[in-house]
C-alpha cells in the first residue's frame, strides 16, 4: 500500500547553501519540519559563456555533491541524502564507488545514489570524456560499481572498465536512483534501481513518463529484491496541496522541491518552513 507523499529539498550544494553555516542550518530546519531527503546536483564545470542547454551561469556556485552531502550527514540524523544527479560517465567508477561507500558509512546508510548520463557536451569535452558513448559507459560503470560493492572477489571486464584481483572496503548495499527522460533510462530504472527521478516536470509530462515507465516494467525484468520502483519528481510548476495531490494520484512517491532561484538565506528558510506547514504538516 502506498504511503503518504514524501518531500525532498533540492539544491543543497548551490546558491546560499554552498556556504557551510547556511547549508547546515537549512538542512537541520528541513529535517525538523518533516522533509524526508536532501538532494545535491552536479556540474563539474559549466560552459562560459553560458549557452543552451546549460541550466546555470558559469559563475554560479555549486559544490561537489559527495563532499556536500558528507558535510550535511554530520549535521543531520534522519533525512536521506540524495545525489540528484551524479553524471556517472564523467567519473572514475572505482574512485566514485569508494567515495559513495565512505559517505554511506558516515551517513549510517542514508545515501540515495542518483545517477544520470549527462547532457552538456562542453562539460564532457573539458573532462576528456567522449560524449557519444555516455549511455553505454554509464551502464558498464554501474555494473562495475555493484561488483566492487558486493562481490567477495570483485571482478569486472567490460569495454570501458576492467579489473580483477583487488579489494575495496567498506562494501555497501547502495541504493541507486536512475535519472533521465529516455527509454534507456526507464529500462535502467526497472532493471537495476530502487527509484527513478525526473527533473522539471509538470503534471502532464509526469503522466506521460509514468505511462512509459509502466510499459518498460512490462517489457523488462525487475528483480524482486528491488521492490516497487519509487518515483521522485522535481516539479516545474508551483506546488500547493492540490498540485501535490495530483502528483500523488499519478503514482509519484516523492516531490523534490527546488527553492526559488537565487533565494536569500531568509527566503530559503521561509520556503522550507512554509512547505513544512502547508504540505508536510
Q: How far is CA 240 from CA 41, 108, 201, 236, 275, in A?
A: 24, 33, 15, 13, 9
What are the domain boundaries of the chain?
Answer: 6-280
pLDDT tens track for 124-145: 999 999 999 999 999 999 999 9
Q: Cis (ω within 30 of 0) for the bond into 83?
A: no
Q: Is the CATH code 3.20.20.30 the one for domain 6-280?
A: yes
Measured CA to CA, the distance from residue 27 to residue 21 in angstroms comes to 10
Share of the chain above pLDDT 70, in %: 99
Task: Output the pLDDT for position 211.
Answer: 98
Q: Cis (ω within 30 of 0) for the bond into 79?
A: no
pLDDT (mean) for 56-73: 97
Identify the residue whose cell numbers are 555493484.
Answer: 146
Candidates 233, 231, 247, 239; CA nearest to 279 is: 239
Task: Output the pLDDT for position 3.
Answer: 80
Task: List the grid coordinates of 75.
Answer: 549535521
b/e 131-149 (16+ beta carbons within 10 angstroms → b): eeebebbbbbbbebbbbbb
pLDDT tens track for 86-113: 999 999 999 999 999 999 999 999 999 9
pLDDT (mean) for 190-197: 98
Task: Output the pLDDT for position 271.
Answer: 98
pLDDT, the chain, mean:
97
Task: Output the pLDDT for position 128.
Answer: 97
For strand 86-87 and strand 111-116, is the pairing parallel, antiparallel, or unpaired? parallel
Task: Output the pLDDT for position 29.
Answer: 98
The model's pTM is 0.97
Task: Output the pLDDT for position 281.
Answer: 85
Candidates 194, 190, 192; CA nearest to 219 is: 190
CA dihedral 198→234→40→37, nearest 10 degrees, is -110
Measured CA to CA, the distance from residue 111 to residue 71 in angstroms comes to 13
pLDDT (mean) for 7-27: 98
For strand 162-163 and strand 156-157, is the pairing parallel, antiparallel, or unpaired? antiparallel
Measured CA to CA, the distance from residue 243 to residue 108 in angstroms comes to 33
Measured CA to CA, the distance from residue 172 to residue 116 in angstroms comes to 20
pLDDT tens track for 203-244: 999 999 999 999 999 999 999 999 999 999 999 999 999 999
pLDDT (mean) for 34-49: 98
Measured CA to CA, the distance from residue 213 to residue 190 in angstroms comes to 8
Task: Output the pLDDT for position 2.
Answer: 64
Cβ atoms of 12 and 72 within 8 Å: the answer is yes
| 1 has a pLDDT exceeding 50 | no
Amino acid at each position: 500500500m502506498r504511503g503518504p507523499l514524501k518531500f525532498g529539498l533540492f539544491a543543497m550544494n548551490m546558491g546560499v547553501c554552498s556556504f557551510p553555516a547556511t547549508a547546515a542550518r537549512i538542512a537541520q530546519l528541513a529535517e525538523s519540519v518533516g522533509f524526508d531527503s536532501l538532494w545535491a546536483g552536479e556540474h563539474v564545470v559549466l560552459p562560459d559563456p553560458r549557452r543552451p542547454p546549460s541550466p546555470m551561469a558559469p559563475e554560479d556556485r555549486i559544490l561537489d555533491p559527495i563532499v556536500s552531502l558528507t558535510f550535511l550527514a554530520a549535521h543531520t540524523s534522519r533525512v536521506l541524502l540524495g545525489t540528484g544527479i551524479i553524471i556517472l560517465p564523467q567519473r572514475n567508477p572505482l574512485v566514485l564507488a569508494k567515495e559513495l561507500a565512505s559517505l554511506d558509512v558516515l551517513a549510517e546508510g542514508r545515501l540515495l545514489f542518483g545517477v544520470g548520463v549527462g547532457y552538456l557536451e562542453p562539460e564532457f569535452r573539458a573532462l576528456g570524456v567522449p560524449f557519444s558513448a555516455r549511455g553505454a559507459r554509464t551502464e558498464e560503470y554501474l555494473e562495475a560499481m555493484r561488483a566492487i560493492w558486493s562481490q567477495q572477489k570483485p571482478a569486472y571486464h567490460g569495454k570501458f572498465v576492467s579489473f580483477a584481483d583487488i579489494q575495496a572496503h567498506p562494501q555497501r548495499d547502495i541504493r541507486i536512483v536512475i535519472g533521465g527522460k529516455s527509454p534507456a533510462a526507464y529500462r535502467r530504472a526497472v532493471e537495476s534501481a530502487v527509484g527513478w527521478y525526473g527533473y522539471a516536470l509538470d503534471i502532464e509530462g509526469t503522466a506521460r513518463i509514468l505511462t512509459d515507465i509502466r510499459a518498460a516494467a512490462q517489457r523488462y525484468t525487475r528483480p524482486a529484491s528491488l521492490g516497487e520502483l519509487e518515483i521522485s519528481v522535481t516539479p516545474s510548476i508551483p506546488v500547493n496541496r492540490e498540485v501535490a495531490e495530483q502528483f500523488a494520484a499519478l503514482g509519484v512517491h516523492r516531490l523534490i522541491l527546488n527553492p526559488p532561484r537565487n533565494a536569500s538565506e531568509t527566503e530559503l528558510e521561509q520556503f522550507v518552513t512554509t512547505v513544512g506547514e502547508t504540505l508536510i504538516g
